[in-house]
Homo-oligomer: A and B are copies of this chain.
Amino acid sequence: MQTEKKTRVAILGYGNIGKAVEEAVSMTNDMTIAGIFHHDETDRLNACHPDIVLLGVPSREVPGTAERLLSTGLNTVDSFDIHTQIPTVHKLLNDTARTHNAVSILSAGWDPGSDSVFRTLMEALMPSGLTYTDFGPGRSMGHTVAAKHIEGVKDALSMTIPLGTGIHRRMVYVEIKDGYSYDNVRDAILQDDYFAHDETHVIEVENVQALNNVAHGVHLTRNGVSGTTHNQRIDMTMTINNPALTGQIMVASARAAMRLAERKHYGCFTMIELAPVDLLEGGKEEWIKKLV
Q: Which residues from chain A sit less than 8 Å from chain B, CB to CB?
A: 20-21, 23-24, 26-27, 83, 86-87, 90, 107, 110, 112, 114, 116-121, 123-128, 225-229, 231-241, 244-245, 247-249, 251-252, 270-277, 279-281, 284-285, 287-289, 291-292
Distance A162 CA – B276 CA, assembled complex (angstroms): 27
Distance A106 CA – B120 CA, assembled complex (angstroms): 20
Q: A272-B277, A279-B124 given as contacts; is B233 within 8 A of A238 (CB)?
A: yes
Distance A257 CA – B197 CA, assembled complex (angstroms): 43
Q: Is the CB of A289 within 8 A of B227?
A: no
Secondary structure class of chain A's binding surface, majority of residues: helix
Q: Is the CB of B238 within 8 A of A226?
A: no
Name the contact of A240 in the complex, choosing from B121, B232, B244, B277 (C-beta under 8 A).
Answer: B232
A271: chain B residues within 8 A (beta carbon): 292
Q: Which 5 A-B pairs have the closest CB atoms?
A: A229-B244, A226-B248, A23-B227, A24-B227, A124-B279
* Cβ contacts A to B, 17 pairs, < 8 Å: A27-B227, A86-B292, A120-B276, A120-B277, A120-B279, A120-B287, A121-B276, A123-B291, A124-B252, A232-B239, A233-B237, A233-B238, A233-B239, A233-B240, A235-B236, A272-B275, A276-B276
Name the contact of A127 in the complex, choosing from B121, B229, B248 (C-beta under 8 A).
Answer: B248
A279: chain B residues within 8 A (beta carbon): 120-121, 124
A280: chain B residues within 8 A (beta carbon): 120, 123-124, 127
Q: Which residue of B lies closest to A249 (CB)?
A: B125
